[in-house]
Amino acid sequence: MTLLNKRKIIDLLGKRKRILITGGSGFIGGTVIRRLIKNTDAFIFNLDKFSYSSDHYSIDQTIKQSKNKSIERYKFMQVNLFNKEETIDAIKVADPDLIMHLAAESHVDRSIDSPQDFISSNIVGTFNLLQACRLHFDSLNLERKEYFRFHHISTDEVFGSLGENGLFSEKTSYDPRSPYSASKAASDHLVNAWHHTYGLPIVLTNCSNNYGPWQFPEKLIPITILKILNGEKIPLYGDGLNRRDWLYVEDHVDALLLAANKGKLGSKYCIGGSNEIENRALVEMICKLLKKKLNSQDDFLRLISFVKDRPGHDRRYSIDSSLIQKELSWAPFTKVEEGLELTIDWYLKNINWCKEMLKRSSYSGERLGII
């Protein structure tokens, strides 16, 4: 189920007919683009450097299945935001009414191994994009300036780690603990500064852990599914009691479209799934669901293997989404049990896609982020 149907999305966009998605070949960005292709007649520009986790297949399939000539209004632009000149040129070509900035290096373990990549993409890349957007915004006529928006999509990890009690909210202080979260915190501050200093009309959102179809198989849920299917050990960090708030990706896209188009300029919205669960319990749930779906006699719980914890591993995340629920009438529809069923079913039907992604990226499920 989704909160936003076709009519509601068209009404939300209003005069915004040219939409630029950065990182549109990634997991969340691709989900946004597929939704826009299916439900609007807007021109959609996908600006992506196309890294190891990027994928065009899902978007290509959506275009093929579409009956509204979507191929004529979708354009892929292979651009690395680290390149200032290419970024400026891409913004000129796209001439957007709305920018949704999802492009980011996002895997914590990889940030431990290669922090420079995260500084380059998440900080310098965001800076270059903001500068290009300033030039674009200044060139617009008064009417287009009224409805132009820059939406920056970020993470709850910028807030650090919670204790046993409490929730992250829009008023929570920043306290990042990993190279990834530090780079995203820096990008949040840049976006906020460009609003107050240069008048760029921005909206910022911080979300909890996303999951669902088409997620690159290095994150916890897809890697657990694949490890089980391959009969391999499932690595669980530390004692497995770290807690996360899980947000189904389609629910997140509803929130993003609402925030991007109706959110108050200069505001921040925290988006959570209201599905807080320990990593160990989540992995056990996946094991039991797959045992049932495969009608297997094997006890997949035996595959769980506790390994050395990730350096600086945040203990608990949980989000208070009351502001976006109150102001924009958003709510997460998908409980984690239902979302896991949908996600597992999808991966079972798309194993070949997973194999192809792993082969292309030269990633075989090995442990990352070990100092």
pLDDT of 38 reads 94
Tens digit of each residue's pLDDT (9 = 90 or more) over 224-248: 999 999 999 999 999 999 999 999 9
Residues designated as active site: 156-157, 180
Tens digit of each residue's pLDDT (9 = 90 or more) over 112-155: 999 999 999 999 999 999 999 999 999 999 999 999 999 999 99
> Strand, coil or helix: what is 163?
coil
pLDDT at 364 over 80: no
Specify the higher pLDDT residue, 57 or 1.
57
pLDDT of 124 reads 98
Average pLDDT over residues 62-70: 78
In Å, how far are 228, 243, 245, 325, 368 from 107, measured between CA atoms? 21, 17, 17, 28, 10
In terms of DSSP bridges, do strands 276-278 and 243-248 run parallel, antiparallel, or are they unpaired? Answer: antiparallel
pLDDT at 12 over 80: yes
- The encoded tokens of residue 22 equal 């950065």
- The encoded tokens of residue 161 equal 């780690």
> Which residues does 96 contact at the CB level (< 8 Å), separation at least 6?
18, 19, 20, 45, 136, 148
Q: Which CATH architecture has domain 6-211+247-276+316-333?
A: 3-Layer(aba) Sandwich (3.40)
At residue 181's C-alpha, the angle toward residues 33 and 255, to 5°, is 35
Spatial separation of the C-alpha atoms in residues 83 and 219, rounded to whole Å: 28
pLDDT at 371 over 80: no
Q: How many CB atoms lie within 10 A of CB 109?
A: 18
Spatial separation of the C-alpha atoms in residues 149 and 143, rounded to whole Å: 13
> Mean pLDDT across the chain, nearest whole number?
95
Tens digit of each residue's pLDDT (9 = 90 or more) over 184-210: 999 999 999 999 999 999 999 999 999
Q: What is residue 97's DSSP assignment?
A: S
Strands (E), 200-355: 202-207, 209-211, 234-237, 243-248, 268-271, 276-278, 304-307
pLDDT of 68 reads 62
pLDDT confidence band for 70 (50 / 70 / 90):
low
